[in-house]
Amino acid sequence: MTDRDPRGGDALDRELDEALALAKDQGPYPRRAETWAEGPVHRDDAEDAEDADHADALGNPENRGNPENRGNPEKPEWTDPWTTVPRDRAPRARRPSGAPARHRPATTWPDARAIAARAPRKAVAKAAPLARPLAEALGHVLATPLTALTDLPSFDTSAMDGWALAGPGPWRLPAGEQSILAGHAESDPLPDGHAIRIATGARIPPGATAVLRTEHGTAGDGWLYAAPGHPVTPGQDIRPRGQECRSGDLLLPAGALVTPVILGLAAAAGYDELPTVPRPRVEILVLGDELLREGLPHDGRIRDALGPMLAPWLRALGAEPTVTRRLGDDAEALYAAVAGSPADVVLTTGGTAAGPVDHVHPTLRRLDAELLVDGVAVRPGHPMLLARLAPEKHLVGLPGNPLAAVSGLLTLAEPLLRTLTGRPAATPCPAPLAAAVQGHPRDTRLVPVVFRGDEALPLRFNGPAMLRGVAVADGLAVIPPGGAGRGSEVEVLDLPWSAAWPSAAGGPGDPAVGPWHLL
């Protein structure tokens, strides 16, 4: 067991932090204090490999310590890879005398989300609303409150097919088959003691006091009679003008997400178009020479899983993805792409650590960017970052591993875009866990879950490079440092589509779900 540093980090975490520290210099770009380490600098998925080691230790009986200790609460059943130095790791070099040894710890997960939400300096309310026709407004956010442009209904209407009545009965009927239909102009006044056929939604004639439903009346010999047991009361089955709202009434506040029902309400209230918040433009830069756009993996190269996923995900978060570009590991190409991007947000994948082909930090230094978040205490996704490129332009750096990138989306991109689009923060949705989840000693964990009744069921495939679990998940459970036991209430982050798609994961027999010791 190695000595632990003052902030509680172990050797592997310290090595990652030190690698990041050595990549930074003085200037507008915040710099970690220098530390000293021996050995190669790891790429941004180094911490994800650590997560995989931890999952392997939990999932494989061989890694759980002495079998004689299993079931004994006095003795641990497994060796924690976060607090144990791998046997084949080289000893660390000593720090030269007088060299600084301070660290800047990773931002906590709640703080990182709060920083991302506060990052935009320009209030959404100051942005000029964009008028969109109703047919194009679905999924956008109202820039101003929605007030009624007319009374609803705008005149007294019949709530039923039947007869419009004036006064008490019986009632005299007009000669012929006269009737009042929906969509017709106002008819002549109805004399007292008279009745006339009327359709649902038709305008009530002046003088009418009630409507008698077709099934409650009997007509014959020019007269109309109410059926026994169905007396007529004044105002019966009439929707009075302004029953739903009066002109000028507030229907919805600014910031409301435009749904299909809201489109219908807006149309009924007299709108042809809606004032919406302009969607922030996002340019996606997928980095990595190892990524393939098609075909099967070969020769050490793998398929790009993030390129096809990010644009629709960002669109679901209220952004307007402009382009997805694949740059490979090219420092100059990345610098030119970020410096020349007209987007409000640049989203990168991979390259956020300090390896020889990790060019995000050097690019931000060259651009004199303001680093707002540099590493988050969350697993997976630790090496994510958020930077301000200009007063109203930001960069979100996601890790390269797929589930780690999803973690970055929910941690940094979602709060940032929520503020840029004027959406309110979702109300936290706690749920009890259907099974215990092992936690990281210091960091938050995000674990895919499905809902089974009132409980959140953790899914098995939750490694940083895996999408199989989150593909069938209803959300990601927020597991606090140290873990959470069965029945513990934890926050569950919704996925943009979770309410629209039935979960494909089954019970404990489903390979995506159990057995629990593989969590």
- Residue 165 within a domain: yes
With respect to residue 116, please indicate whether it lies within any of the assigned structural domains: no
Helix (H, G, I), strand (E, B) or coil at 502: coil
- Return the CATH number at 272: 3.90.105.10
Query: Do residues 260 and 235 share a domain?
Result: no
Distance CA 423, CA 453 (A): 29
Q: What is the pLDDT of residue 124?
A: 55
Average pLDDT over residues 323-348: 93
How far does CA 480 lie from the centroid of its chain? 20
What is the structure's pLDDT at 363? 94
pLDDT for residue 157: 95
Tokens of 85: 């130095």
Q: Is residue 251's pLDDT more than 50?
A: yes
Question: Cα–Cα distances in Å, from 413 out to 5, 119, 156?
Answer: 31, 11, 49
Closest CA to 506 of 440, 465, 460: 460
Boundary residue ending a domain (220, 239, 258): 239
Q: Are residues 289 and 394 in the same domain?
A: yes
**330-334, 353-357, 443-447 — which is least confidently predicted?**
353-357
What CATH number is associated with residue 333?
Answer: 3.40.980.10
104 vs 28, more confident: 104
Q: What is the pLDDT of residue 332?
A: 93
Whether pLDDT at 515 is above 80: no
The proportion of the chain whose per-residue pLDDT surpasses 70, expressed as a percent, equals 73
- Give yes or no: residues 312 and 399 share one domain: yes
Confidence band of 292 (pLDDT split at 50, 70, 90): low
Q: Percent of the chain beyond pLDDT 90?
A: 54
Domain count across the chain: 5
Answer yes or no: is 508 within a domain.
no
Averaged over 17-22, what is the pLDDT?
Answer: 40
For residue 85, give its domain range.
Answer: 8-109
- Mean pLDDT, to the nearest integer, of 340-350? 95
Instruction: Decide: 297 and 360 in contact? Cβ < 8 Å.
Output: no
Q: What is the pLDDT at residue 234?
A: 93
User: Does the residue 92 lie in any domain?
Assistant: yes
Same domain, 133 and 267: yes
Q: Is the pLDDT of residue 513 over 60?
A: no
Position 450 pLDDT exceeds 70: yes
Residue 123 lies in a domain: no
* Residues 272 and 286 grouped into a single domain: no
Same domain, 134 and 258: yes
Tell me what pLDDT residue 418 has: 92
Domain boundary among 188, 216, 239: 239
Asked whether residue 138 is domain-assigned, the answer is: yes
Residue 172: CATH number of its domain:
2.170.190.11
3-class state of residue 194 by DSSP = strand
As a three-state string, the secondary structure of 90-101 is: CCCCCCCCCCCC
Say if residue 255 is in the same domain as residue 381: no
- pTM score, two decimals? 0.70
- What is the b/e burial string over 433-470, where b = at least 16 CB atoms within 10 angstroms of the residue's CB? bbbbbbbbebbbbbbbbbbbeeebbbbbbbbbbbbbbb
Same domain flag for 297 and 364: yes
Q: Are residue 319 and residue 268 in the same domain, yes or no?
A: no
Q: Read off the CATH number of the domain in which 495 is found.
A: 2.40.340.10
Token pair belonging to 99: 């060299």
Q: Considering 372, 397, 420, which residue would you say is the last residue of a domain?
A: 420
Do 60 and 178 sit in the same domain of this protein? no
User: Both 376 and 468 in a single domain?
Assistant: no
pLDDT digits (tens, 9 = 90+) for 147-175: 999 999 999 999 999 999 999 989 999 98
Burial 297-330 (b: 16+ CB within 10 A, else e): eeeeeeebbbbebbbebbeebbbbbbebebbebe
- 118 occurs within a structural domain: no
Mean pLDDT, residues 68-95 taken together: 36
Write out the H or E segment, with its range, that includes residue 88.
none
Q: What is the pLDDT of residue 29?
A: 54
Contacts of 441 (CB under 8 A, 6+ apart): 8, 80, 82, 83, 481, 482
pLDDT bracket for residue 104 (50, 70, 90)? low
- Per residue in 456-504, pLDDT (tens digit) is 999 988 878 778 888 889 999 999 999 999 999 999 998 877 544 444 4
- Which has more pLDDT, 83 or 260? 260
Same domain (yes/no): 82, 30: yes
Residue 513 belongs to some domain of the structure:
no
Of 490, 471, 494, nearest in space to 480 by CA: 490
